[in-house]
Each structure stands twice: as C-alpha cells, then as structure tokens.
Structure 1
Amino acid sequence: MSRGPTMAKLCRFVKLNDRFNAQVFTFMLPGRILREFTPDIYSKDFVYGYQKWNVSFVRTDRHIGAFLKLQSPSQGLRCRLDFSFTVVNRDHFTKNVSFIEKSCEFSPEASVFGRKTFIEIEDLLKRNFLQESGELLLEVEMRNIHSIYECFMRLPKESSSGNHHGHNYHATNHHNSRHDGYEDRMESTYFMFGLSDWSISLFPDNSVAEADGSVEVQLQRHTSFDHLCYVRYRIILGDEGTFDSGDLEQVLDASGVGEPFTIGASVYRLARGRSTLRVKVEMISVVSVSEVYLSAVPSIGNSRSTSSGLTGSHMGGAARAHCYDRDKQAWILEADLTGKYLALRLFYTDISHVPRKFSRYVGWNIRLVSRGGSPRPKRTLDGPYSKYYVQQEADDGYVIRTDLLLDEVSSP
C-alpha cells in the first residue's frame, strides 16, 4: 500500500523581536527519515521577510542533509540573510547540533542553500535526539534579511540640440503622466515581494536642457488590489549610488499606484555618460491596511481606526465594524465604552474555519485617527499584536487598550 508524501510539519513559530527581525520556525520531522530508502522530506511553504520559503531534508547512507529554499524567486531580485538549522536534543540544549550560514544570497540562479552532511544518522540514534513521539524536533532560525531588486534601464535617445522631447511629469498629476508620456516612461521588469508583483517606473522630464532636467520615480504594485498597503522601501540610482533616497514610507491605494517623488537631476546625469541607468530597489516591508469607522458614542461617528493586516468596510457611526484579512477571513472590531479609557476588542468571526488539528498565527497593529482633530495617527498601547487561533465555535475577543479618555474622544 502506497503512502502519501511525508511532510515536515511546522509546529511552532516565534518572533524574537530584535533588530535583526529574527524568527524561529520549529518543525517535527518524522522518525522514518532514519530508515533506508526514505524519500526526501519537505515542509509546506512558509513566509519570512515577505518571501515564501520551504525546508527539505535528505537522507544519505550516513547523514541527514538540511536545506532552505526560496520559493518566490524573481529575476533581478536577491535575498540575503543568515539562517541556522538546529536539531533539539532531549537531554539538554548544550547537546543540540546546529549549523549556521551567514550572508547567503538567494536568487533564481541560486535558490537553495544548506548542508548535505548536517548530522550523522548514528548520532541521532544514539544521543537521544528522538522525541517520545518518535519524531525529531528541528528549529530553523532566519534573520537579517535584505531583499534588493536590481536592473539596468536603457536611456531614451538624446537629441542633437541637447534638449529632449517629451512630457513634463508632475506628482500632482501622476495618473495622467502614466498615459500621456507613455513613450518616455522607463519601467523595470516585475519582481515579487510580500506575495505581490511590483515594478519601479521613471518619468524623465525631457522638455528642458539636461542641466535643468529632473525625473520622477514611482513604485507600483500589480497584484492584490483588494486593500490598501503600507510599504517601506529605498531606491538607489546610478552605478556609484549617485542618488540614494534613504528609507521611504508610503500608503498605496487600491489601484496599487504609489505617489511619485521628484529627483532634481536628469537620467543622463544620473547615468554619468552611460547608455543605461542602474536601478536598485530595497524592499523593506509591506502590510495590508484597512480603514474602519467606529464611534465612541453609539449615535456619533467621529473616529477612524486604521488596522495593519486587515482589510475592512466602512460603517460610519457604528460602535463596531466588519473587517477581512488578506486570506478573506472575517473579523469584527468593536469599541469598548465601559471604562475610563477607550478600548477596542477584536473578534475573529471566522475562527470556526481554522482547520482542525491546525493553528493559525495572526499579527496586526492598530492606529487611531480622529475625523475632526489632529491628522496624526495615535498608536494603541502594547502593539503590535499577535495570537495563535485554533478552531472553536466563537472567539472571546482580543482586548486592545488605549490611553484616550472616553470624555475626550466623545466630546464634539
């Protein structure tokens, strides 16, 4: 009788909340990998650093090999990170066996890194690595990821007079510029980040002399249009890093179009005499964002809550609002008006849809924006938040505290 594929099951996930964004994924590895003629064992895809990965384990005559693979490679995109594999010993953590790889650069040409001779099979059998269930407990730590897309854009041909015919693109009219000046638009190929496709576009202002020229730069998302997103990124132009934007933060609307920004130099000056311009984009983070309207007084709607990670529908004036995450799971955000300070309660209304014998890890953050007051968002206390959910009939709700007095919130 044939068996189905043997999997390495993800059983625990931990964020270390350090400056390297270290995360630990713990897998249960079937003990049958110690037997002869066992096929390679793989995990399901998981996400780290806004990219998809999986791990695999290969048995040879004497050793078990362990490998990490980038499952979402894009042409021109390189992901550099540190990672380690650790087999947990039942007796004491000092008897664990590990290996560490630093500054590994994953790309379409090199999407797998690891070690063929991670640990000897004889050691696993003799040194008490097998758990009581007969499985192996294995931790994969990933940290310090940098996702950098790089391409070379060919410059438009220069006219003999030194001026360049084209359109003058303005940040206030970027939707029109994308069509009116299409012939002069310089666009990169697509690359994958945060489970969406992206590109970068340059709009040269060729209507003036090169010395007075400028270029507008625009980031665009081409998939996942059902929600806003908050993105952090950095752009470097030129072979020697002639222009470096530093870290940028933007909210992209549901069309996926970001607000362009202007560089006070022509593409020809940035390229320094070359026929192509080197473009680097470092993607740092992206989260889905929804706006839901809640009221601190049931009959008056005067505050707006912005939730990172959930997509919502507006319910002006209500003390609760329905939200949907990017997996189309339903939530309810409710204002709690029973105390001295405003509190919120988040309910996972689709908790009964979590598959049996599985748990679902969800992370989110919330910012409060007043309709009539200061436009600067105010963070809730103790965020960002996360929780494991398992299947049950109803969710008791997650309480989110704020330092906003109810009297101040409900006053006109």
Structure 2
Amino acid sequence: MALLYRATRLKDRADTHVFTFVVTRSATREPDRDVTSKDFCCAHQRWAVAFSRTDASLGVYLVWRGACDGMRVYVDFTFTLLSRDHFTANEGFSGKQVRFSAGCAAQGRGRCVSIAELNTKFADARGEFQLELSMSRVRTLYSCELRAPRLDTPPIAFAGFDWQVSATGGGGKEPLTLRLVRLSGEGQRCRVRYALALGEGERRLHSGPLECVCDADGRTPPWSPRPPSRVLAKGVRLTVELVWARAIAELAVPAAGRAATCYDRDKQAWAVRCDMHSDMVRLHMLYRDVHHVPRNHLRYVSWSAWLVRTTTAAGESDAEELPGAPFEHYYAQDSADEGLMMETALRVEDMSRPGSAFLHPGGELRVRLEWGDTYLLFQATYHVYDDLCRLHAHQMRREIAVLQAENYSLERQLFSYQKSLAYAQAQAGEPAAAEPGGRRSPAERSLSTDTEYA
C-alpha cells in the first residue's frame, strides 16, 4: 500500500503542494499486485500515485482521476525517494507542465529505481520507504466547439461539482453571451474563479480572470465578448480555464452564545459559537463529528472566515475577513473537540452600540465560512517516519550554515584585495581605473561604502 502520511502547502507563487507517502513492502515484494494510493486532492482535482514492478526495477506514476473528454491538466511534478542516510542521496525525477488528458491519465517513469538500490538506500528493515511528491503550477483547461444550434457544453467535472458553459445569442443581431453554470450541489453556495476564451490565434477573445459567488441556481454573471462575437454554422472554439471552486457556508451566530451548526464538503458537522468574554469578539469553531475521524488517522482541515456586514457602502466589501485567516487544524479521533478560537477585529463594546456594522436583526452575527483543503492522513501521532524529515531538515540547516560561513569568508577576502589594490594605486599616484559607462571600479565602491566587516 501507499499511505498518504503528510501534506504541506508551501504558499508560494506556484502554489506548491508536497505530499509524503509511506510505501509498504507490497510495492516491491509482490510483483503481481498493483499498488496504488487512495485518491487525494490537489488544485481541485483528484489524483493517485501508482507503482509498477518488474524483476529488476520499480516504476512510479502520477494518475489523474478526473479525466474527461475535452479536459486537460498541466502540472509541474517531482517524485523524490527519501534516503535513510543523507538528504543529498535522495533520488527522483521531475516534469514541467506535463499534460494529463483522457487518453493519457498517468504520467511517470517505468524504471524509477532498481530494486537492489531501493532496498539498500531507501527501504528500512521492514521493506518500507518514503516517497515525496511535489505538485505546482496546476492548470485545468477545457475546450470544445460551440456550434449552432447547440450552445451548451457537455458537463465538466471540477472541484467536486459538475459545470457547464451556457451560451445565448450568437445568431442574427443578438451578440453572444456566455455564462458558467454549476449543475450539481443544489443548495450549496460556492465561490469560483475561472476564465473564458473564444476563438484561436490573433482573433482570440479572452475574458481575463473572473471571480464570483454562484447564485441560488448555480449561475455566474454573464460574459459578453468585446468586440461582439457570433456563433456561425461552422462553430467557434471555446476554452475554459478553471482555477478554483470553494464551497461556502453562511450561518447566523447568536451573540447570546448559542451555537450555530453547518456542514463542510464531506458532510461533517461543525458548530460556531460567539464568545464575548474578551475585549474583542471571538468565534469558537468546534468540529462536532471529530469522533468520525478514522482510528490512527489525522484529518487536516483548512478554512477562511468572514463577518458579513449589515449594510454595504459604495466600493466596500460585503464582508470583513477575520485576522489570521486562513485557519487550519489537525483532528484525531476523540469523544469531543475543544475547538479553535478565531479572533475578530470587532470590539465587544461596539456590538451594543446602535447601528453596529455587523450586528444583524435578532441580535446575531452572520459568519461566512469558505472551506479549503481537506486531507485524511495516515498515522495520528509522531512516528519513526517523522525522524527522516527531521534528520534532513537538520542536515540542510548545517550545510546552509557552512555555505554562509564560506561566503562570508570570501567576501572578507574580496574586500581585503580591493582595499590593498586601492592603497597600492594611491601610493603609486595612479587614479583608480573607471569602469565603462562611467561606473566606479570595485575598489572605489568598496572604499566608499558604509558596510563594516568584523
């Protein structure tokens, strides 16, 4: 088996996610058995890691589980086998903007490492080893031809919902209007970010990034291409880029202290209670179904929270995000959850004043929750598997410290050489050589700087 052990989001520009798997000996000692991890989510797509075994080597593949006609996903990914001795002995392979499609849903390497090397450098005495998967710059694109009289796309699966692009007009004098529609998840609000494009090449019309909250019917605001476009009998090429879609729960939390209940994407129950026992209003978030977490597992959950205003002025947002968002926590099986306290920027004394910006009729606060990543991780406690990552972290810190010391020593030597050169030129009565373009020489710059070296 391949067990998802830990998941980390680096929060960089490429939105990098790092997944660590513990792979049992079945991947190497049972050649007739296919070893595949359970599905996990990254960039709102479902994925899995699969292994192939030959007599002499082991192959590793990233498998896209949401394959459908017309959709393609591009990913930067890296597989890394973690060495038991030193992080510089790690081995792996990577790919840049690798394309996944319905006809090619698995990408990887059939001969990643030899069985002999795997057992010597990476596997422990039980035959288990750790595999790290890094995924970044994930892009989801869907393309099809819009051709009269059919102006709706087939259903598109993304982020656990089914979507469709619906077109109106495009014939006669009526210009074409496009709208993204959510077909599933009735009664579930969500915020979606996407982009639409019509045509190809120089005549391509692009909407730019669009972000909105779907209405009660799952519809988004319409987009009309400029200049106006029409659907001819020969059709027009439509491309949709789906960036993310996050489920939203909005609940009324009584200021008196009673809890309000809501549910996340996995139908797990949560409660939010208002806490007025401090200078600032706080919201107490409790996981009511914490006893449903499987034994010996951790459930990682992240979310963002807003306080919804009673009225909105021109140019003002309808809600204020809580400080410290997004929030995240790990949950293990327990009889009850102690809860997580979320601070707000709202003072308790301001709640009782007339015309409070956040106190709604009935003496309640409107809280908006937006659910983020959720992972079910193997091993609920610190384990021997954690030692490897801690060992690598300490090794890298020590090597970085050595490199910094070497760099500092070289800088001191360079400064000394520059100073000696400038002194020799001054003794000889020679002006310091000017650099092309009127720039000063390194010696001049070093002598005029205010930087001090110990």
Interval containing the TM-score (normalised by the shorter chain): 0.7 to 0.9
Give distance in 2, aligned partners of 1:404 and 1:280.
43
Structure 1 residue 226 displacement after superposition: 3.6
Give distance in 1, aligned partners of 2:210 and 2:309.
25
SS at match of 2:349: helix
Give distance in 2, aligned partners of 1:354 and 1:131.
29
SS at match of 2:109: strand
Query: Contact 1:251–1:258 (CA<8 Å) still a contact in 2?
Result: yes
Aligned residue identity for 1:365: S
Q: Identify which of 176, 191, 203 aligns with 1:215.
A: 176
Q: Identify which of 150, 164, 171 aligns with 2:143.
A: 150
TM-score, normalised to structure 1, is 0.81
Q: Identify which of 245, 264, 279 aligns with 1:286.
A: 245
Map of 2:270 onto structure 1: 331
Give distance in 2, aligned partners of 1:279 and 1:354.
42
Q: Identify which of 73, 80, 88 aligns with 1:86.
A: 80
Give distance in 2, aligned partners of 1:338 and 1:132.
54
Give distance in 1, aligned partners of 2:73 and 2:217.
27
5+ long unaligned stretches in structure 1 = 1-6, 157-184, 299-317
Structure 1 residue 364 displacement after superposition: 0.7
Are 2:325 and 1:383 aligned? yes
Map of 1:181 onto structure 2: none
Map of 2:101 onto structure 1: 107
Structure 1 residue 38 displacement after superposition: 4.7
Map of 1:313 onto structure 2: none
Give distance in 2, aligned partners of 1:137 and 1:350.
31
Quickly say closer, same or farther: Cα 1:33–1:263, change in 2 above 3 A.
Answer: closer
Structure 1 residue 327 displacement after superposition: 1.3
Give distance in 1, aligned partners of 2:312 and 2:34.
59
Structure 1 residue 260 displacement after superposition: 1.9
Q: Which has the higher contact order (CA 8 A, sep 6+)?
A: 2
Map of 1:136 onto structure 2: 129
Structure 1 residue 126 displacement after superposition: 2.1
Q: Identify which of 289, 292, 303 aligns with 1:353.
A: 292
Give distance in 1, aligned partners of 2:227 and 2:28.
62
Give distance in 2, aligned partners of 1:149 and 1:321.
39
SS at match of 1:257: coil
Are 2:208 and 1:243 aligned? no
Q: Identify which of 263, 266, 287 aligns with 2:225.
A: 263
Structure 1 residue 193 displacement after superposition: 0.6
TM-score, normalised to structure 2, is 0.73
Superposed CA RMSD in Å reads 1.9
Aligned residue identity for 2:28: L
Query: Contact 2:311–2:318 (CA<8 Å) still a contact in 1?
Result: no
Are 2:189 and 1:224 aligned? no
Give distance in 1, aligned partners of 2:184 and 2:295.
31
SS at match of 1:214: coil
Aligned residue identity for 1:112: A
Q: Identify which of 320, 325, 349 aligns with 2:259.
A: 320
Map of 1:3 onto structure 2: none
Are 2:120 and 1:126 aligned? yes
Structure 1 residue 253 displacement after superposition: 2.7
Map of 1:50 onto structure 2: 44
Aligned residue identity for 2:243: I
Structure 1 residue 319 displacement after superposition: 4.4
Aligned residue identity for 2:353: S
Tell me which protein shows more strand as a share of its residues: 1
Structure 1 residue 373 displacement after superposition: 5.6
Deviation >6 Å, runs of 4+? none
Structure 1 residue 36 displacement after superposition: 5.9
Aligned residue identity for 2:294: P
SS at match of 2:179: strand
5+ long unaligned stretches in structure 2 = 355-454
Structure 1 residue 27 displacement after superposition: 0.9
Give distance in 2, aligned partners of 1:265 and 1:124.
59
Quickly say closer, same or farther: Cα 1:325–1:36, change in 2 above 3 A.
Answer: closer
SS at match of 1:267: coil
- Paired positions, count: 350
User: How big is each residue's C-alpha offset from its partner over 1:298-355, in whole Å with a ceiling of 9 and x where there is no partner?
Assistant: 2xxxxxxxxxxxxxxxxxxx64311111211110011111111111111001100111
Query: Contact 1:204–1:266 (CA<8 Å) still a contact in 2?
Result: no
Tell me which protein shows more helix as a share of its residues: 2
User: How big is each residue's C-alpha offset from its partner over 1:15-40, in whole Å with a ceiling of 9 and x where there is no partner?
Assistant: 11111111111111112433363522
Structure 1 residue 357 displacement after superposition: 1.4
Quickly say closer, same or farther: Cα 1:243–1:99, change in 2 above 3 A.
Answer: same
Identity of aligned residues (%): 34
Structure 1 residue 147 displacement after superposition: 0.3
